[in-house]
Chains A and B, each alone.
Chain A
């Protein structure tokens, strides 16, 4: 880096942080100069959130230092970070929905007319004046008297920012601020951030959208696998160069090539113009059509939050769709319940293992047979046989070599990899035709990953159809026969020979086109 006379507003020196055996950060360095907009980019799981937590003082680094205003500091928590003028805007806004914007602005630090402790009367006139002045200074239009729940999401973001400014912050950390915004709102946010920069505020901006980084930032730092791998001024680099650093030379978990490049099996799953409205901040889906055939793994690539989770839920029958149809082996299942779909041969491995894939408090045997508990051999004429249940459970667990203590232990007692194997043991029982696997290796150790990849391949090789959604691009490329890319709720491209197409797919994931 070039020698710089300016001062570091917020920085990190060789940060390391491990959670158990997972090394989340292993050498992150960062210098955010005063008055600049600095972008941090990286894939999911690259270590961005861990870095943020350390910059906020939520976590202590194992080694290395956080730097604030050119000094090495040890932060005790967000309150101290705030006292040092560092404020963070989370993806989840810290605003009470039933209060007005003004009430949220002052909550916790109310201007008062007279000091009577908690009984002090709040000086709303002063509060409004402060709010208006700050909003004016950054060029935001805010109706402070509106109820928070009725206000568009980008305005809420502005209010969060103004609240931090009001509390004296001059360094703002924004965690994927555009993830919840529509394109015109993104423009407004960027204008506002530029105004902030002009006023001397320093901004650290986390993103995985390269276009936005190029459009907004002065500096960019790329993090991959817990390390800083690239740092540059925006003027000295290009989008493709940044993209190449985000995904480049990740080690392959398994290098075995995809089995069959051309698949000619029967169509198992067919989506025609599937459309779903956005509910509570979820991504809407726009007219998605695709087919998955027998003996094929179709990968869905996409930056998280672009609709892959919603798509998978629609197919599993867990989310309402507003238009389009879903066909399973030629039968229209659009209106069918989850149970009916499962009975037709749909299996579903949830991305949220701990809350949807499993009931962690229930026993291992319960978890592995749930869903089959109404059918023989477990239940006959309305009576559930504990003996058959246990036999069936043991059979399933043994088939996938799940390592466990006793079948009556809670599922919580298993390691992450074995928990996921348990999920597969349940879902692959009963000869399903279609396996929907969403983030199947998230939070699973290396051995577990290898086993799960093996399971998916075996299922495919025996003629099953797999729809695989994963944010691990390596995984997706090494397993999939075809890959489709989802971006902002639409399919934006398909790659039929994914093995060497990392760059092309990465481009589509972050920019929505293959340009």
Chain B
């Protein structure tokens, strides 16, 4: 029990500590005092309400992608395709946002979000059913689907959906009535952040207070046991994939309608993968996810200003993120993310 708490806190602290050491070493190498820089990052990201708003704005897409990842990871389904679902969901929402008549007004919100959720769900249903029915390795299938999503959305925004007004790689802007309201103008923090928090809360509720969430955790821990007590493993796998797609799609819609207001080639600079880092760092726990998303949001928003003022390259953020991802999955005698297939052990 106490060892459980200890191993859990090591699991959370290790990637953070290692990434601090790595980035600290990098900073030392260029003759900067790491403590000064980390202090600067802290003040730049949390120093005043405007900065906090920028941090939360940067954290917004990560809330969605982290939840979408965590839903699958805690069920032992290795879905790395949240990025793709985020893209196709986002494009679906944007498409409806500028295609449907502006006179629909507020009705555009539910329509766009539903469409995004639906497209996201279908997108991840495919690898889900392939895994459940034919044991197609979900890691490779979702990875490939990410590239396919990039290609399809890239094709659409450069072809059929290309804005007639502006140059390359962008769709038209969505109707202004479909913009998610800003929470603290002039900051870009928008209502999508609140939707993200709702998603995290819903995820937390799903984990603890629904039979499906209960079953997800069980198949993540032990598929043989789950089958023996009457849980349908294939159905649960497909279910968590669909849920993951729904959340990722909604995330894409929120990002599109709140932040970008159009779809472009660089719609997601890897939110799906950063979300994975967040979920891993937060150990799939709702509070961990919120904290992790804010941490990475802080790095992203502070990184820009740090680069401006102290000349430290923005890439420091990627160094930290990459290190977190690698060391979040390092095992120190604990079992994480390792699927136990339902094979009988020879005795």
A385 to B211, CA, bound (A): 10
> A339 contacts B222, CB within 8 Å?
no
CA distance A177 to B231 in the complex (A): 37
Indicate if the CB atoms of B221 and A362 lie closer than 8 Å. yes
Q: A355-B222, A362-B218, A362-B221 are in contact. List 11 more A-B contacts (CB 8 A).
A: A338-B229, A339-B230, A348-B228, A355-B224, A359-B222, A361-B221, A362-B217, A374-B211, A384-B210, A384-B211, A384-B214
Q: A362-B218, A373-B211, A382-B210 are in contact. Are A355 and B230 (CB under 8 A)?
A: no
A89 interface residue (CB < 8 Å to B): no
Q: How far is the CB of B333 from chain A (nearest CB, A)?
A: 13
B225 contacts the other chain (Cβ, under 8 Å)? yes
Q: Which residue of A lies closest to B1 (CB)?
A: A409
| A198 close to chain B: CB less than 8 A | no
The B-contacting residues of A in range 347-389, CB under 8 angstroms, are: 348, 350, 352, 355-359, 361-362, 366, 370-371, 373-374, 379, 382-386
> In the complex, what's the smallest C-beta–C-beta distance from A304 to chain B, in angstroms?
9
Which chain B residues (154-187) contact chain A, with CB distance < 8 Å?
none
For A355, list chain B residues within 8 Å (CB).
222, 224-225, 340, 344-345
* B183 CB to nearest chain A CB (Å): 31
Known: A362-B221, A384-B209, A410-B4. A356 touches B228 (CB 8 A): yes
CA distance A451 to B228 in the complex (A): 23
With the chains together, A374 CA to B1 CA distance in Å? 28
Bound-complex Cα distance A341 to B221 (A): 23
Cα A361 to Cα B346 in complex, Å, equals 21
A318 contact set on B, CB distance < 8 A: 227-228
For the complex, give the distance between the alpha carbons of A362 and B4 in Å. Answer: 12
Q: Is the CB of A405 within 8 A of B1?
A: yes
CA A341 – CA B215 in complex, angstroms? 18
- Say how far A441's CB is from chain B's closest CB, in angstroms: 15
Proximity bits, A393-429, B CB within 8 Å = 1, else 0: 0000000000001100110010000000000001000
A337 interface residue, CB < 8 Å from B? yes
Q: Ordered nearest first, which 10 A-B pairs have the shortest CB separation?
A: A339-B230, A371-B229, A359-B222, A370-B229, A356-B224, A374-B211, A359-B225, A342-B230, A338-B230, A359-B221
Alpha-carbon distance between A397 and B217 when the two chains are bound, in angstroms:
22
Q: Is B335 an interface position by the 8 A CB rule?
A: yes
Is the CB–CB distance between A350 and B228 below 8 Å? yes
A134 to B: closest C-beta gap in Å: 28
CB within 8 Å of B: which residues of A?
91-92, 316, 318, 337-339, 341-343, 348, 350, 352, 355-359, 361-362, 366, 370-371, 373-374, 379, 382-386, 405-406, 409-410, 413, 426
Contacts of B209 in A (CB 8 A): 383-386
A49 to B346, CA, bound (A): 13
Q: What are the interface flags for B324-335 relative to A under an 8 Å C-beta threshold, 1 for contact and 0 otherwise?
A: 000000000001
Most-contacted residue by chain A among B209, B225, B232, B335 (CB, 10 A): B225
**B347 and chain A: residue at smallest CB distance:** A352
Q: Is A371's CB under 8 angstroms from B230's CB? A: yes
Whether A338 contacts B227 by the Cβ 8 Å rule is yes
- Closest Cβ of chain B to A16, distance in Å, is 23
B225 close to A382 (CB less than 8 A): no
- Residue in B224, B230, B344 with the greatest tally of chain A CB atoms within 10 Å: B230
Q: How far is the CA of A105 from the CA of B9 in the complex (A)?
A: 48
The size class of the interface chain B forms with chain A is 20 to 34
Q: Is the CB of B232 within 8 A of A339?
A: yes
Name the residue of chain B whose CB is nearest to the CB of A442: B347
Instruction: Name B208's contact: one of A338, A343, A348, A386 (CB within 8 Å).
Output: A386
Interface centre among B227, B228, B335 (most CB of A within 10 A): B228
Contact (Cβ within 8 A) A361 B335: yes
Query: Inside 8 A of A348's CB, which chain B residues have their CB?
Result: 228
Specify which chain B residues have a CB less than 8 angstroms from the CB of A383 in the assembled complex.
Answer: 209-210
Q: Min CB distance, A270 to chain B, in Å?
A: 21
The minimal Cβ–Cβ distance linking A450 to chain B, given in whole angstroms, is 24
- Note all chain A residues with C-beta closer than 8 A to B215: 373
Closest to B344 in A: A352
Which of A366, A371, A405, A410 has the most CB atoms of chain B within a 10 A radius of its CB?
A371
Which residues from chain B contact A406 at a C-beta distance below 8 Å?
Answer: 1
| Interface pair A370/B1, CB less than 8 Å apart | no
With A92-B346, A384-B211 as known contacts, state yes or no: A357 contacts B1, CB within 8 Å: no
Chain A residues in 8 Å Cβ range of B345? 352, 355
Min CB gap B75→A, angstroms: 13
A337 near B208 (CB under 8 angstroms)? no
Bound CA–CA A316/B229 (angstroms)? 10
Q: What CA separation (Å) do A348 and B227 show in the bound complex?
A: 11
Q: List residues of chain B with CB within 8 A of the CB of A352.
A: 224, 344-345, 347
Which chain B residues lie closer than 8 Å to A357 at the CB level?
A: 225, 228
In the complex, what residue of chain B is closest to A358 when comparing beta carbons? B225
CA gap between A409 and B4 in the complex, in Å? 10
Q: A355-B225, A357-B225 are in contact. Are A370 and B218 (CB under 8 A)?
A: yes
Is B218 a contact of A359 with CB atoms below 8 Å? yes
Contact with A along B313-347 (1 / 0, CB 8 A): 00000000000000000000001000010001111
Please list 20 pairs of residues, one from A and one from B, whose beta carbons are closer than 8 Å in the complex, sorted by A's number.
A91-B346, A92-B346, A316-B228, A337-B230, A337-B232, A338-B230, A352-B344, A355-B224, A355-B340, A356-B224, A357-B228, A359-B218, A362-B217, A362-B218, A366-B217, A370-B226, A373-B211, A373-B214, A374-B211, A413-B1
User: A318, A338, A342, A356 — which one has the most chain B CB atoms within 10 A of its CB?
Assistant: A356
- Tell me the complex Cα distance, A335–B224, Å: 20
CB nearest neighbor in B for A338: B230
Known contacts: A359-B218, A410-B4. The answer to whether A370 contacts B210 by CB under 8 A is no
Which of A343, A357, A373, A405 is most buried by chain B, counting CB atoms within 10 A of its CB?
A373
Q: How far is the CA of A356 from the CA of B81 in the complex (A)?
A: 31
A352 CA / B221 CA spacing, docked (Å): 16
CB contacts (< 8 Å) of B217 on chain A: these are 362, 366
**CA A74 to CA B229, docked complex, whole Å:** 47
Whole-angstrom distance between the Cβ of A156 and the nearest chain B Cβ = 15
Residues of A within 8 A of B213 (CB): 384
Among A355, A358, A361, chain B packs the most CB atoms within 10 A around the CB of A355
Closest-CB distance, B298 to chain A (whole angstroms): 33
CA distance A337 to B345 in the complex (A): 23
Given A359-B221, A384-B210, A339 and B228 contact (CB-CB distance below 8 Å): no
How far is it, in angstroms, between the C-alpha of A482 and the C-alpha of B220 when the chains are bound? 40
A211 vs B210: C-alpha distance when bound (angstroms): 56
Report the bound CA distance from A116 to B344 in whole Å. 42
Chain B residue at minimum C-beta to C-beta distance from A339: B230
Complex contacts, A409 vs chain B, CB 8 Å: 1
CA distance A10 to B209 in the complex (A): 61
Kindly provide the distance from the CB of A18 to the nearest chain B CB, expressed in whole angstroms.
Answer: 20
CB of B113 to closest CB in A, whole Å: 22
Residue of B nearest to A389 (CB): B214
* Residues in A whose Cβ lies below 8 Å from that of B347: 352
Q: How far is the CB of A319 from chain B (nearest CB, A)?
A: 10
> For residue A343, which residue of chain B has the nearest CB?
B230
CB-CB under 8 A from A413, the residues of chain B are 1
Least Cβ distance of B235 to chain A in Å?
Answer: 10
Question: Inside 8 A of A316's CB, which chain B residues have their CB?
Answer: 228
Contacts of A342 in B (CB 8 A): 229-230
Provide the residues of chain B in CB contact with A350, threshold 8 Å.
228
| Nearest residue, chain B, Cβ from A348 | B228
Q: A342: nearest residue on chain B (CB-CB)?
A: B230
